[in-house]
Amino acid sequence: MPNSTLEERCVNTIRTLSIDAVQAAESGHPGMPMGMADAAFVLWDKFLKHNPTHPEWYDRDRFILSAGHGSMLLYSLLHLTGYDLSLDQLKNFRQWGSKTPGHPEYGHTPGVETTTGPLGQGFATGVGMAMAEAHLAAKFNNGKFKLTDHYTYGIVSDGDLMEGISHEAASMAGHMKLGKIIYLYDSNRISIDGSTDLAFTEDVFSRFQSYGWHVTEIDGHDRKAVENAIKEAQQVGNKPSLVICKTHIGFGSPNKQDSAASHGAPLGEEEVRLTKENLGWESDEKFFIPDDVLQYFRKALDRGEKWHSDWRQKMEEFKNYEPETSEAFHSQISRKLPADIEEHLLHFEADEKGMATRAASGKVLNKIAPHVPSLIGGSADLTGSNKTWIDDAGIFNADNYAGTNIHFGVREHAMGAALNGMALHKGVIPYGGTFLIFSDYCRPAIRIAALSNIPSIYVFTHDSIGLGEDGPTHQPIEHLASLRAMPHALVLRPADANETAWAWKAALEYTDGPALLVLTRQSLPTVKRDANNAASLTMKGAYIISDSEKETPDTILLATGSEVHIALEAQKELKNEDIDGRVVSMPSWELFAQQDKSYQEEVLPSAVTARISIEAAAPFGWERWIGNKGIAIGLNRFGASAPYEEIYEHLGITSERVVQEAKKLHR
Amino acid sequence: MPNSTLEERCVNTIRTLSIDAVQAAESGHPGMPMGMADAAFVLWDKFLKHNPTHPEWYDRDRFILSAGHGSMLLYSLLHLTGYDLSLDQLKNFRQWGSKTPGHPEYGHTPGVETTTGPLGQGFATGVGMAMAEAHLAAKFNNGKFKLTDHYTYGIVSDGDLMEGISHEAASMAGHMKLGKIIYLYDSNRISIDGSTDLAFTEDVFSRFQSYGWHVTEIDGHDRKAVENAIKEAQQVGNKPSLVICKTHIGFGSPNKQDSAASHGAPLGEEEVRLTKENLGWESDEKFFIPDDVLQYFRKALDRGEKWHSDWRQKMEEFKNYEPETSEAFHSQISRKLPADIEEHLLHFEADEKGMATRAASGKVLNKIAPHVPSLIGGSADLTGSNKTWIDDAGIFNADNYAGTNIHFGVREHAMGAALNGMALHKGVIPYGGTFLIFSDYCRPAIRIAALSNIPSIYVFTHDSIGLGEDGPTHQPIEHLASLRAMPHALVLRPADANETAWAWKAALEYTDGPALLVLTRQSLPTVKRDANNAASLTMKGAYIISDSEKETPDTILLATGSEVHIALEAQKELKNEDIDGRVVSMPSWELFAQQDKSYQEEVLPSAVTARISIEAAAPFGWERWIGNKGIAIGLNRFGASAPYEEIYEHLGITSERVVQEAKKLHR
């Protein structure tokens, strides 16, 4: 197309790479990359501060493709601007072993900032990134040195904005006045079912204004307008920005533009041909990239190197200027934990009265926080209940981004995604609290953390019928099983205050996925410890908390959390029945499963098949540990509203019940 | 208080009952009932059409306390207006066996329309009720007879509006122009953490206008203003209404009004006394109800009887006027299924090529729909993928509420709650579709259905790595286990087209909770059937789909859904190894667990311990069926993006793998 400008040819390269890759894979979403190519080009060409050869450079702008189904848009840009993503990878879109999976996956492809696809996740994860940016800037920048100073850009879709999580995250970002968020909304009026008129007719413009956002609406194919809108958004310091880009999905396709037909399926060979013709594309060749286009895009390498080296230079100067702060900053952005972390774990004396593990958690957190200054977190409006408050650390808000106590509001889902975003940003170790029951509300974000090895920490309190009067709507039953079934999720349900301290250590050290602390509302005795049942054994996932007298016990009682105390009580009662029992506390199935066979055999000798598990939850899955002959005491029903001791009694989660079942095994 | 009007004394009775009950329980939320007593009184006294002696009367107005923590507000009103909820029940608030649990539970307390407490659920469930109302009115009302003609009222809180589900449901209700929704928003500016200024500063007024709602703001303690606002809302036929009631939480408490201290804890004996004094309350007696107040409230009984008998009269006339329509209407509101439902199940011929179970589901649904006219449903923007469309049934929207195909938009959570609301309303059998992975997005609503025995039907397609190229973000792994762990949830994962037909029957007949159909994207062979492996055995949860030659098999292969075919293939291959295998298809663990021991023993003889399960999912929980010596073939990792056959191959979900494992068992 002789009359095309270089810019137009750049944009059309994004389009043609995307349609060729989807066509080759015979699967994917071509319409979105075609529609957003103009706006994305402007963003990446004129604004995005990044260094393709060092995708992990700390002070880069973050770019999130929340509409992850349009992954070829991102892969095209990554290839064109010189990331380590070859053209062959694009040709292998959606194939086994490629770096170009159907939806962008963090950790899998260089330059992908977070895993997207499940709609709304990217939108809310970006809010978390911007929170981390604001916090670290407030904490470490000074007039002379801005070590943290970048934007969080994103492309979001109709689908993202329909999901509830977008509301939570947008309302939260507006409240927090996170001015460095700039999202381009691909308003193409087409969803998978057809026109958005079928289901989505809200006024997005005024909706986002109501959240306190800066909103503009432009023609998303008018590149000058996109440029001006982003510039304007950058000037608005105290509001996140939504740039509504009116676009045509499948732009350039003579028969499928503005139609759902271009949304989730290849255009078809013939339509690909017609589209290229219609765009005045200069070659029939698949995956064709004009030389001058590539050359133009690759200027990103020099720009990136320049930005990056300027920043390195600044860092060096800062190091000389404020060596201690510089070290603290480095330590945070590399997620360094103190070598002597064990020294900072609270130790609790044995105490029959004891305390709730949530209370212990609050104390442990406060003891450890001064030594792990990257800790930042809060609760979804249950701060006092979750015991997530860190004393003297201030509230994180628009007046004080340096504060570390976050009020997420009643927004569990946005909280979960924000934790992911903060962890992905690096520089902070984020945690978030709610009742265990509401893990259901943030489950999709927990799963993103699991899938992408994001170390988000959850403080889930009120973990069973032990919460009492609030009743079955608030009493978890299936939640332990449902979280244990998720790969990479680390579930920790400590039995007393000291196990809680070590569970926090395990959580902080775990970086393969989310760590989930599961804590009681009700008080639990603090167990007497010696070398044989040291609380540090928590790190092994399961251990003998109270052994039998015989070398080989008659029976093994396995329990977690609050039910360990029932097992210990039953152990005593069983002596009267001449049954010699061992009690195994099992705070984490995942950690125990990782131990070597000999340790597992030591704790759970195969010879002992008379095993009883006790957990105030669905017994689902306990067969793994108790075997065929074992008995799982648990709840195959929902709970009830009453003082908790009565519920335990009525539902048979008692030492008497354990004794009764044990006698059956020894009849 | 001699100067108090009777109305004021009525309102203060609600307040004092609520604070007395919370105080007696030493647990609960007094502030909300105190703050909303005025508005709730006006709604119940001047508007709410209901019959306390027949809480189930079909054409009543629905009232939803979405802010379920304020349960004493509802219990007080139920007692005062004459429902079967004695004063003793109020005195036993939150106690074992009472009808007054911490949060309102449907099915547990007469007059409670839906279970609330988990925030946002009530808000969105009410939208479902209004959808059912609009649909049944459009379908059966005519100029002369309005058999369905009622409002859906609700009280919603700051917390409800922070939750993402409120956004989804509000946007959907605005789109659908559900004018008979009238929600009173208790805007008291206090959440559990303190002032809503901590986290929630959006402009709710304009937010709801942007959804297409009618919004007004009033002083929630000005009862005349409340009355006028509700009257005005009733006049707005084509928009749902939000009446923002500015209120004082803990109204009347001299030291705790307008403070988070009155939110989630008893006021304390002394403050209760001071509050009563401050309100000019006429007695120190706990749970005191002035005679004239009770008398006034109990007028609801006569009003209710009148409304109800007028409606019965109308029904009688209608029966004479249009006997067939009348019968159809009755049949729908009593959730009657055709006696010959089996006749309407599609039968599919054996076919090696077969079809995806989602495709079979679509065909079965279309075959059965004309015989089950109460079926209504759709998809969260995946209609074509989920195969949820019913031909010739029209789209449910503001122009055609009689249509039954619902476009929920990308709003899985609101869809789940709307299904609950429609089912609770009665008159329709609702279903909703999305990918199985997104069951996570609607999990809290699925749980409400399970807890409250609500027969919502879910069509979950794309149920494993078998969806292929979309990759791990879209491939369920832990979802089967996590749903099976939930009490009352019925999980159905059929192995071929004919099992799918019977799974639909099981789903339609199940009324103890949600029925979850789990279906493939990819094609599966249609199995050859005879009397021994009839597809009707699906109803037993597990059955021998292909038996061994020996009476007692060497090994048993257990599988569900798409993996049954791998098991059948392996069975053949095992013959070459002289291992005689039985294949058990296990579409539903829950149904199989309900069978008597002898049937279970017949299918899975205890003598055969060489068992292998095959499921393309987390193997979590399979030990239950395969025992100690069994081997579970599954996925302890996330999936990958590639054509699905390759993923199965690479991840070892293959018949070769089964053979290999079986040989280990027989070594």
3-state helix, strand, coil in chain A (%, to 5): 45, 15, 40
Structure-token pair, residue B593: 């667990």
Q: Who's near A499: CB < 8 A, 6+ residues apart?
A: A357, A535, A538, A585, A587
Kindly report, residue by residue over B580-630, the tens digit of the pLDDT.
999 999 999 999 999 999 999 999 999 999 999 999 999 999 999 999 899
Name the minimum distance, in Å, from the CA of A384 to any CA of chain B. Answer: 7
Q: Using DSSP, how many helices (H) and how many strands (E) does chain A show?
A: 25, 20
Name residue B656's amino acid. Answer: E
Indicate the SS3 state at residue B662: helix
- Give the CA distances from residue A261 to residues A38, A250, B34, in Å, rounded to whole numbers and listed in that order: 21, 9, 55
* pLDDT bracket for residue A319 (50, 70, 90): very high
* pLDDT bracket for residue A610 (50, 70, 90): very high
Q: Who's near A303: CB < 8 A, 6+ residues apart?
A: none
Residue A277: active-site member: no
- pLDDT value of residue B142: 87
pLDDT < 50 stretches in chain B: 1-2
- Asked if A468 has any chain B CB less than 8 Å from its own CB, the reply is yes
Kindly report, residue by residue over A507-542, the tens digit of the pLDDT.
999 999 999 999 999 999 999 999 999 999 999 999
Mean pLDDT of A302-331: 96
Contact yes or no for A189/A199 (Cβ under 8 A): no
Structure-token pair, residue B259: 């403070």
Residue of A231, A306, A389, A243 whose CA lies nearest to A52: A306
Kindly report, residue by residue over A249-276, the tens digit of the pLDDT.
999 999 999 999 999 999 999 999 999 9
String of DSSP letters for A516-568 = EEE--SSEEEEPP--GGG-GGGGGGS-EEEE--SSSS-SEEEEE-TTHHHHHH
Give CA torsion, residues A97, A102, A107, A112, to 10 deg. 130
Phi then psi for B407, rounded to 5 degrees? -95, 100
Indicate the SS3 state at residue A42: helix
Show which of residues 620-659 on chain A sit within 8 Å of chain B, judged by CB atoms: 620-621, 623-624, 627-628, 635-638, 640-643, 646-647, 650
**Alpha-carbon span B213 to B215, nearest angstrom:** 6
- pLDDT value of residue B1: 44
**Alpha-carbon span A124 to B537, nearest angstrom:** 46
- pLDDT value of residue B666: 86
The C-alpha angle with vertex B441 and arms to B190 and A29, in degrees rounded to 5, equals: 130
Name the minimum distance, in Å, from the CA of B316 to any CA of chain A. Answer: 38
Indicate the SS3 state at residue B463: coil
Q: Who's near A199: CB < 8 A, 6+ residues apart?
A: A162, A191, A193, B172, B175, B381, B407, B408, B409, B411
Residue of chain A whose alpha carbon sits nearest to that of B408: A199
Show which of residues 302-341 on chain A sit within 8 Å of chain B, judged by CB atoms: none
Show which of residues 565-604 on chain A sit within 8 Å of chain B, judged by CB atoms: none
Q: What is the pTM of this model?
A: 0.98
Residues in A closer than 8 angstroms to B174, CB to CB, are 201-202
Count of positions (residues) in chain B: 667
Structure-token pair, residue B212: 């297409």
Residue of A472, A460, A433 whose CA lies nearest to A520: A460
| Closest partner CB to A164 (pick from B413, B450, B487) | B413
* pLDDT bracket for residue A3 (50, 70, 90): low
Catalytic residue among A412, A563, A590, A661: A412
**Alpha-carbon span B204 to B183, nearest angstrom:** 13
* Cβ distance of A621 and B172 shorter than 8 Å: no
- pLDDT value of residue B3: 58
Q: What is the 3-state secondary structure (H, E, C) of B34-95?
A: HHHHHHHHHHHHHHCCCCCCCCCCCCCCEEEECCHHHHHHHHHHHHHCCCCCCHHHHHCCCC
Name the minimum distance, in Å, from the CA of B96 to any CA of chain A. Answer: 5
Residues in B closer than 8 angstroms to A211, CB to CB, are 202-203, 207
Question: CB neighbours (10 Å) of residue A39?
Answer: 29
* pLDDT bracket for residue A402 (50, 70, 90): very high
- CB contacts < 8 A, A to B, total 334
- pLDDT value of residue B2: 47
Kindly report, residue by residue over A217-227, the tens digit of the pLDDT.
999 999 999 99
Residues in B closer than 8 angstroms to A118, CB to CB, are 437-438, 441, 473-474
The C-alpha angle with vertex A157 and arms to A155 and A160, in degrees rounded to 5, equals: 105
Contact yes or no for A387/A94 (Cβ under 8 A): no
Residue of B121, B34, B482 whose CA lies nearest to A410: B121
* Cβ distance of B94 and A25 shorter than 8 Å: no
- pLDDT value of residue B27: 96
Kindly report, residue by residue over A26-76, the tens digit of the pLDDT.
999 999 999 999 999 999 999 999 999 999 999 999 999 999 999 999 999
**What domains can be seen in chain A, in order of their start residue?**
4-304 (3.40.50.970), 341-526 (3.40.50.970), 540-665 (3.40.50.920)
